Structure 1
Amino acid sequence: MESNRTRLDQLFEFYREDPTDAFTIYAIATEYLKIDPKKALEYYQILLNDHPDYVATYYHTGKLYEVFGEKAQAGQIYQKGLLISQQQGNRHAFSELQQAYNQLMGLDDEDDW
């Protein structure tokens, strides 16, 4: 836990220097994911609002909403991420988001065939 706090302190120093850097915000959210998921969600929301093209956010935010039992919200997040990753031509992100969305909706490929 102490190492997370140290990393967070360093990340917040970077954040104070440039509060618009999407990678720093994403890193803060990821660190909070380990120790305070609700706080992580706050930072993922900042990314979704201020940096909607930061496609990595959508998978983790959707998964977090699933953990909180908010399936409808998770589905919306995955769908928006699918659209953005498709617009960017990011096949890897699209594939991960599609798989997460399919699992959420009970459409696992292996189970359907």
Structure 2
Amino acid sequence: MTDRISKLREFLKDNPQDNFLRHALALEYIKQEQDQEARALFETILTQSPDYIGSYYHLAKLLEKMQEKQLAIEWYEKGMQAAKQAGDQHAYNELQAAYEDLVY
């Protein structure tokens, strides 16, 4: 286990609902090829905080890597909807581009 993962887990003990910390930990898990742990964290973030736009892209990309294309498509779609509702055009465009790369 990396030092970063240990530190992030420590920070999360004090702030278990901190989406920034959970998202950062999920990204560290991906770097360490701990895909299931990353997936679980991203899914928790987005279930509890569907307005945490940044996690949609990373979860969908991870699902693509895990050969779960249909689920990835669904998460891209949810992310595009959330980005649209939040007025985050940049995130919407990134999600749409990744979605189109996967679908077409």
The answer, yes or no, to whether TM exceeds 0.5 is yes
Please give the root-mean-square deviation of Cα atoms over the aligned residues, in Å: 0.9
* Runs of 5+ consecutive residues of structure 2 not aligned to the other structure: none
Paired with 2:6 and 2:62, the residues of 1 have a C-alpha distance of: 23
How many angstroms does 1:45 deviate by?
Answer: 1.0
1:8 to 5, 8, 11: 5
Paired with 1:50 and 1:87, the residues of 2 have a C-alpha distance of: 17
Paired with 2:63 and 2:10, the residues of 1 have a C-alpha distance of: 28
2:31 to 34, 44, 48: 34
How many angstroms does 1:50 deviate by?
Answer: 1.2
2:82 to 81, 84, 93: 84
Paired with 2:66 and 2:9, the residues of 1 have a C-alpha distance of: 26
* Runs of 5+ consecutive residues of structure 1 not aligned to the other structure: 107-113
Paired with 1:22 and 1:52, the residues of 2 have a C-alpha distance of: 11
How many angstroms does 1:52 deviate by?
Answer: 1.1
Paired with 1:42 and 1:68, the residues of 2 have a C-alpha distance of: 13
Is structure 2 residue 21 aligned with structure 1 residue 24? yes
Paired with 1:14 and 1:32, the residues of 2 have a C-alpha distance of: 16
Q: List aligned pairs for 1:96-111, cutoff 5 A.
A: 96-106=94-104
Q: Determine helix, strand or coil for the equivalent of 2:17.
A: coil
State the partner residue of 1:48. 46
Tell me the TM-score normalized by structure 1. 0.88
State the partner residue of 2:57. 59
Count of paired positions: 103
